[in-house]
A and B are shown apart, each in its own frame.
Chain A
Amino acid sequence: MTRRAPVMTHVFLLVGGVAWLYPFLWTLGSSLKSTDEFFGRGLDPLPGTPLWSNYAQAWQGASFGQYFLNTLTITVATVLITLLVTAMAGYTLARTEFPGKGLVLVAVAATVFLPHGYTIIPIFDIMDGLGLLNSLWSIIIVQSAGGIVFGTFLFMGYFRAIDRALEDAARVDGANFHQVFWRIMLPLAGPMLATVGLFTAISAWNSFFIPLVFTLARPELRTLGVGMYAFIGENSTDWTLLCAGSVITLAPIIAIFLVLQRFFVNGLAGAVKQ
């Protein structure tokens, strides 16, 4: 498998790759078409004369600006909460002993094996009880809770592998519990923070079901995904605006992924190798 790849391999991969991403290229091109061009040019992804006003119209007229802000708020808050909660729990479960620890570990592991019923209804009731139904907080909290088992497991594995001598040395120097975690261990967990953060960001940005349920009665809280879905139902003919909305939804997460992809890919690869 170490022979030099023939030119045909590259041709195959390039043509295949472009065809693979054709739906995205077509969406990008069509977001700059006029309605006439949209039908005239059909499956040709290139616009004749780029019409940038589609974006302004989608952003303001079709509320995609509001949806973008909602999605961004939810994603940033969910990532911060998930990282904080799972890093703290993962560290404590990996490196400290306390009565009841076994019980906590069982509770975490059990959620993987229990059959999940239709849990969205009781979750909805709790949010109603907390008076959070009319804010983005309901979505943020539910999204954060959804990722904690996965994140806690990843941080537990990561902290368990760090040399104990570092912690012991810090304790000898008089560092207390908090200083050991915040000043020594957390800064060492950079790659895992990036991995869990990126997984959480992608799942929060792309989440559909949870924001769909929590915004059924509150259109102004919609995320981009839910906004797109609602847009088809309400203005089913504004195709070019819908394409602009798609680009607004897809571009940021693709950009973040391209910058941080090695953390994502390494995280996935680590998951199957274990």
Chain B
Amino acid sequence: MTDVRLAARPRALSTGTVSGLWRRIAAARWSYLYVLPMLVLLLAFVIYPIIASLGYTFYRWDGIGEPGDFVGLANFSRVMTDGIFWGALRNTFFYVLLVVPIQLVLALALALVLNNRRLRLRTFYRTLFFLPVVTSAAVVGVVVQLLFSNFGDVVNDVLMSLGLTHEYIDWLGDPNFAMIIIIGVGIWHTLGYNLVYFLAGLQTIPDELYEAARLDGAGAFACFRHITVPLLRSVGVVIVLLSVIGSFQVFDLVQVLTNGGPYFATEVVNSYIYHLAFGGFSGSSVDRDVGLASAASFFYGLLLIVFAVVQALFLRALVRRRGGRA
């Protein structure tokens, strides 16, 4: 509609800018109508709730009725001194620090195998490994829980016969193993995203480069080290960022598999916030506190933004330095 704006401009100059603006608005009335539904949803259900939840952080409120007990910034200082929050933050970092690198290495290895254009059935294989991505984390959690609670002893028998353990492990009831299981399922569930991302990145590398390198006598590893790695770097940065951001949001798996238990051993920040706001902490009776939940959520949101910016700067610097050397 640039034509409309250009046509309106000369008249706007002669009759004053206010009526000119009105004319431009009237001329673009259908544009407003088409953007309006999106804008209403955005304002009412995305932007307003962000602002409103900031308001809750100043109250001690159990979520019933109107918030009335104004406490200023006390909720933020309570979050800072809450051992359960820091424990949940530590568990979340533990989850991210294990899921991201393991998942990325596995996905890249698989992508390198599937990127071979002469490999038959490569789309079929990609679909096999991608499939868990489209399934619900809640249902995956139910199935895994079913497997471990009924047949965890089969694994115990194997481990014992191998002499790896001398006592039966109560998989999801054991603080250490419960977290390991959540991490393992987390890796399995979303690996497909990274597989597809890496395949997309690999396909941007021209085949001629590999052919030329091979003519010069470069082996498979040399090709990987000197062609694949440098050319995959910029896409790789995006993949790492997406993977980290996604992993920090872990909730469904934890809620269904362990509810944060046993004894907060698998409580992550998102399940901690949910339990604060809606009750149901595993094995304890902490009162609902929406103000505290909102404060924790804001603090976590800020932390993640700072973390994402630092990470993006760091990765970009890394790409630039290595890129300059190569």
Interface centre among A86, A149, A206 (most CB of B within 10 A): A206
Contact B136 A208 (CB under 8 A): yes
Q: Mark B192-227, 1 if CB is under 8 A from A, else 0.
A: 010011011101100100110000000000010000
Query: Nearest-CB distance from A89 to chain B (Å)?
Result: 4
Nearest Cβ on chain A to B57's Cβ, whole angstroms = 7
Q: Which residue of A lies closest to B241 (CB)?
A: A272
> Is B147 interfacial (CB 8 A cutoff)?
yes
Residues in A whose Cβ lies below 8 Å from that of B142: 228-229, 232, 242, 246
Q: Which of A9, A91, A144, A226 has the most chain B CB atoms closer than 10 A to its own CB?
A: A9
Could you say which of B42, B132, B210, B273 contacts A111, with CB atoms under 8 Å apart?
B42
- Given known A142-B45, A216-B278, A228-B139, contact A23–B25 (CB-CB < 8 A): no
Q: Which of B30-38, B97-105, B171-179, B318-326 contacts A (4 or more CB under 8 A)?
A: B30-38
CA–CA, A250 and B138, complex, Å? 11
Q: Mark B111-143, 1 if CB is under 8 A from A, else 0.
A: 001111111110001111111101111111011
> Is chain B's interface secondary structure helix, strand, loop, or mixed overall?
helix
Question: Which of A9, A89, A126 contacts B35 (CB under 8 A)?
Answer: A89
Question: B305 within 8 Å of A by Cβ?
Answer: yes
Classify chain A's interface size.
35 or more
Q: Please state if B151 and A43 are interface contacts (CB–CB under 8 Å).
A: yes
| Cα distance A13–B198 in the bound complex, in angstroms | 17
Q: Which residues of A contact B251 (CB under 8 A)?
A: 208-209
Asked whether B247 is an interface residue with its Cβ less than 8 Å from the other chain, the reply is no
A205-246, CB < 8 A from B: 205-209, 212-213, 216, 224-226, 228-229, 232, 239, 242-243, 246
A257 close to B45 (CB less than 8 A): no
**Choice from A95, A120, A145 contacting B277 with Cβ under 8 Å:** A120
Whether B38 contacts A152 by the Cβ 8 Å rule is yes
Which one of B127, B211, B296 lies within 8 Å of A258 (CB-CB)? Answer: B127
**Chain A nearest Cβ from B165, distance in angstroms:** 19
A-B contact count (CB 8 A): 281
Are B30 and A178 in contact, with the CB atoms below 8 A?
A: yes
Contacts of A190 in B (CB 8 A): none
Instruction: Determine the chain B residues whose CB is within 8 A of the CB of A101 once the complex forms.
Output: 31
0/1 per residue, A234-270, Cβ < 8 Å to B?
Answer: 0000010011001001100110011001001100111
Instruction: Please tell me if A99 contacts chain B, counting CB pairs below 8 Å.
Output: yes
A4 vs B2: C-alpha distance when bound (angstroms): 55
Q: Are A115 and B302 in contact (CB under 8 A)?
A: yes
Contact in complex: A249, B238 (CB < 8 Å): no
CA distance A224 to B277 in the complex (A): 23
B151:A4 contact, CB within 8 angstroms: no
Residues from 19 to 70 in B contacting A, C-beta threshold 8 Å: 21, 24-25, 28, 30-32, 34-35, 37-39, 41-50, 52-54, 56-57, 63
- Point out the residues of chain A lying under 8 angstroms from B41, CB to CB: 85, 141, 144-145, 148
CB within 8 Å of A: which B143-159 residues: 143-147, 150-151, 154
Expressed in whole angstroms, the Cα–Cα distance for A175 and B47 within the complex equals 36
Query: Is B235 interfacial (CB 8 A cutoff)?
Result: yes
Contact across chains for B39 and A232 when beta carbons are under 8 A apart: no
Asked if B301 contacts A98 (CB within 8 A), the reply is no
Please give me the residue from chain A that is nearest to B203 by CB atom. Answer: A269
B46 touches A96 (CB 8 A): no
User: Is A89 a contact partner of B113 (Cβ separation < 8 A)?
Assistant: no
* Set A1, A84, A246: member contacting B210, Cβ < 8 A: A1
Q: Given that A27-B143, A115-B302, A268-B197 are contacting pairs, would A17 and B21 also be in contact in the complex, using a CB cutoff of 8 Å?
A: no
* B interface, size bucket: 35 or more
By the criterion CB–CB under 8 Å, are B37 and A88 in contact?
yes
User: A225 vs B30: C-alpha distance in the bound complex, in angstroms?
Assistant: 40
Tell me the bound Cα distance from A243 to B121 in angstroms.
30
Bound together, the chains give a CA A202 to CA B39 distance in angstroms of 24
From the candidates A97, A116, A249, name the one contacting B297 in the complex (CB within 8 A): A116
Complex contact B298–A117 (CB within 8 A): yes
Determine whether B1 belongs to the interface, using a CB cutoff of 8 Å to chain A. yes
Smallest distance from the beta carbon of A203 to chain B beta carbons, Å? 10
State whether A88 touches B34 (Cβ < 8 A): yes
Q: Which of A2, A23, A152, A268 sits near B144, CB closer than 8 Å?
A: A23
Distance between Cα atoms of A202 and B53 in the complex (Å)? 28
Contacts of B37 in A (CB 8 A): 84-85, 88-89
Q: Is B108 an interface residue (CB 8 A)?
A: no
Known: A98-B25, A145-B46. A88 touches B129 (CB 8 A): no
- B255 → chain A, closest Cβ, in Å? 8
- Return A25 CB to nearest CB of chain B, in Å: 11
List A residues at the B interface (Cβ < 8 Å): 1-5, 9-10, 13, 16-18, 20-21, 23-24, 26-27, 38-39, 42-43, 84-86, 88-89, 91-93, 95-99, 101, 104, 107-108, 110-111, 113-123, 125-126, 141-142, 144-146, 148-149, 152, 177-178, 181, 202, 205-209, 212-213, 216, 224-226, 228-229, 232, 239, 242-243, 246, 249-250, 253-254, 257-258, 261, 264-265, 268-270, 272-273
Which 4 pairs from chain A and chain B are nearest by CB?
A115-B301, A117-B53, A269-B200, A98-B28
12 inter-chain pairs at a CB distance below 8 angstroms, sorted by A residue, are A5-B120, A13-B113, A21-B132, A98-B24, A107-B42, A117-B297, A119-B50, A121-B290, A121-B294, A229-B142, A243-B143, A269-B196
